[in-house]
Homo-oligomer: A and B are copies of this chain.
């Protein structure tokens, strides 16, 4: 399982056996069942996640309704906002599928950065890349209609449409489940 992680990292830096061992010794690999809640609203945590296999999502609970705002699949990671700002979490994190993930807290990160500065460079580059991609995503969302967003998602992340329930996709697209259903019917009719 570790190989998935090391293969991914090797795209950015080359790791010595020492460095790989240092990571392995941290015992960060976890297998989690579909439906497991990794983080709850109101909870404080210092754990960040990285998905090796499977899918996790973040959602807000608003007036009893789940509003899914992000999905993380293979080779995607997230550091919850509450880890950064030290306040209780404003959202939930939950497993969409049985998944294999890494869980690492801030202290483990600091330890690794200290021993191997290379990792800090890696993390800087990764988060700068992510920030930039995220901005493009946001831009695209703003300048598109719900229908365009859906069509775009089909091209950009076709897997999501298969592996994620419609009502979760809907809020991810910024609309209600009924609207997504209607919008899909409209698209099929057109073609």
A interface residue numbers (CB < 8 A to B): 58, 60, 62, 67, 69-70, 78-81, 84-85, 90-91, 113, 117, 120-121, 123-124, 127-139, 141-143, 171-172, 174
Contacts and interface: CB of A to CB of B under 8 A. Distances in A.
By CB atoms of chain B within 10 A, which of A67, A70, A81 has the most? A81
Contact of A124 (B80, B120, B136, B172): B120
Given A127-B128, A134-B138, 20 more contacts: A58-B139, A60-B143, A62-B143, A69-B142, A79-B128, A79-B131, A79-B132, A81-B132, A81-B135, A84-B128, A85-B132, A90-B136, A91-B139, A117-B117, A120-B121, A123-B128, A130-B131, A131-B134, A142-B172, A142-B174
Main secondary structure of the interface of A (DSSP, over half): helix
Contacts of A121: 113, 120
Copies of this chain: 2
